[in-house]
Amino acid sequence: MDVPRLRAVTPGCTGTAYFDNAGAALPTERVTQTVIDHLLLERRVGGYAAADQAEARLEEVYSSAARLLNARPDEIALVENATRAWDMAFYAVQFRPGERILTSRSEYPSNGLAFLQAKKRYGVEVEPIPDDEHGQVCLDSLARMLDRGGVRLVAVNHVPTYDGVVHPAAAIGELANRAGALFLLDACQSVGQIPLDVRRIGCHLLSASGRKYLRGPRGTGFLYVSREVVAGLEPPLLDLRAATWTGHDEYRIRPDARRFETWERNVAGVLGLGAAIDGALDLGLEPIRQRVGRLADRLRGGLGAIDGVVVQDRGAVRSGIVTFTRRGRSAQQLVDGLRAAGVTAAVSFPSRARFDTRPAKPPEVVRASVHYYNTEAELDRLLDAVGEL
Ligand SMILES: Cc1ncc(COP(=O)(O)O)c(C=O)c1O
């Protein structure tokens, strides 16, 4: 059976919002075609032979991810998703009772659950860093918290799912390094929309998703592990990829970041991730950042001009994640209405509400993230749809 090559694709990714522009040639086309080509090769020659044929290209994915982050290829692990990348890093830290973990108030809820488990398991303290007046991690507070000593890990998400903020990663990295703490940056929402340079940021660990701003396939993610710390981080799980069984009761763990990988993986997905990273690198991360920023500002301006709509984003520096509420409509009603108009958006719940003990919780919002390939006309469609709801 012949499978036709794709001429046009709709975005196959979720998590950040996208517009229904079926028929338009989107940047995901190269990604989708790469995945399909490998699946067809697997069908023809079988999974093992197909992986052998793809070996050189698989290696290039490490180089591409390293180039994206200004890292070295041996500092990259390719894993199933951003959550698993983050987990592998976090659960590799052998905490001692009484050690402290500092995190942002806007931390991703899965990370929050892992902190709670570590609290139960090791008796660590988990302390949210106060926000500054813009909703970003307050650097003065962080400095004071670090000065009290005992901080083993600073774990912060760069761009939270909710409310558009971009946390000052490099400044956080500088403070964490000065205090001798490990710095784990969750870059799930920033990778692909903001230039990331792990040397400048000073993070020891960075987790990333393929499926969001990179527009890669679902089920792909990667982890950066600095050479400086990799030897001291034992993976929470070992398999034949991560380690070699060297004797009757001996094994040796790989020396590089691939100790955090699994042997079995979705080769087509990994190749698709490589295509997505190469696509972003070809376009350039700085031009992407600028275009996403312009589109997001335009959308915020348009939303703010609609009666009853409140843009909920915070941050002196903002991302492409645009969040809003409308008087008299729940976030779900707005999302349903937008979907009926062919615009995909999501309901977002602020994780800072869980760290916030004040009675006035931030509301549920609509999240309508923009990507560099969105057009001004698409933003107008969203604005019209919100206006008509
Ligand atoms: C900030 C942040 N971190 C981590 C994740 C987890 O990503 P994934 O579901 O792709 O593993 C998300 C997902 O929305 C996120 O927004």
CATH number of the domain that residue 330 is part of: 3.90.1150.10
**14 pLDDT band (50/70/90 cuts)?**
very low
Among 282, 306, 336, where does a domain finish?
282
Among 282, 306, 331, where does a domain finish?
282
- Ligand 1 centroid to Cα of residue 52, in Å, is 31
Same domain, 220 and 343: no
Same domain, 191 and 143: yes
Same domain, 95 and 234: yes
pLDDT in tens, 299-318: 999 999 999 999 999 889 99
Give Cβ neighbours of residue 215 (< 8 Å, ≥ 6 apart).
Answer: 11, 13, 26, 27, 28, 31, 192, 276, 279, 280, 371
Whether 32 is covered by a domain: the verdict is: no
Strand partners, 19: 343
Whether 192 is covered by a domain: the verdict is: yes
CATH of the domain at 162: 3.40.640.10
Residues 270-286, mean pLDDT to the nearest whole number: 96
Over 90: is that where the pLDDT of 358 sits?
no
Over 90: is that where the pLDDT of 362 sits?
no
- Ligand 1 centroid to Cα of residue 114, in Å, is 14
Only one residue has tokens 């989708």, namely 32
**361 pLDDT band (50/70/90 cuts)?**
confident
pLDDT in tens, 203-217: 999 999 999 999 999
DSSP 110: H
Same domain, 372 and 273: no
Give Cβ neighbours of residue 187 (< 8 Å, ≥ 6 apart).
Answer: 157, 158, 159, 196, 206, 207, 208
For a pocket test of ligand 1, which of 161, 223, 365 has the largest count of ligand atoms closer than 8 A to its C-beta? 161
- Alpha-carbon distance 372 to 156, whole Å? 25
Alpha helix positions (H), 46-157: 47-53, 55-69, 82-90, 109-122, 139-147
Among 252, 282, 312, where does a domain finish?
282
Same domain, 190 and 274: yes
List the domain range (segments joined by +) for residue 298: 285-388
**383-to-77, 96, 389 alpha-carbon distances in Å:** 40, 51, 10
Q: Which of 119, 124, 129 is nearest to 99 (CA)?
A: 124
Strand order in the sheet with 323-326: 309-311, 323-326, 365-367, 346-348
**349 pLDDT band (50/70/90 cuts)?**
confident
Over 50: is that where the pLDDT of 257 sits?
yes
Q: Is 319 in the pocket of ligand 1 (CB under 6 A)?
A: no
Residues 32-38, mean pLDDT to the nearest whole number: 97
- Ligand 1 centroid to Cα of residue 43, in Å, is 32
What's the structural domain count of the chain? 2
- Ligand 1 centroid to Cα of residue 212, in Å, is 9
Same domain, 108 and 185: yes
Give Cβ neighbours of residue 47 (< 8 Å, ≥ 6 apart).
Answer: 267
pLDDT in tens, 144-156: 999 999 999 999 9
Whether 10 is covered by a domain: the verdict is: no
pLDDT, mean over the chain: 91
From the centroid of its chain, how far is CA 141?
Answer: 25
Please report, as a single letter, which amino acid is at residue 121: R
Whether 31 is covered by a domain: the verdict is: no
Are the beta carbons of 100 and 86 closer than 8 angstroms?
Answer: no
Give Cβ neighbours of residue 336 (< 8 Å, ≥ 6 apart).
Answer: none
Tokens of 66: 């390293």
Q: Which of 154, 219, 142 is nearest to 182 (CA)?
A: 154
Whether 6 is covered by a domain: the verdict is: no
Q: Is 107 in the pocket of ligand 1 (CB under 6 A)?
A: no
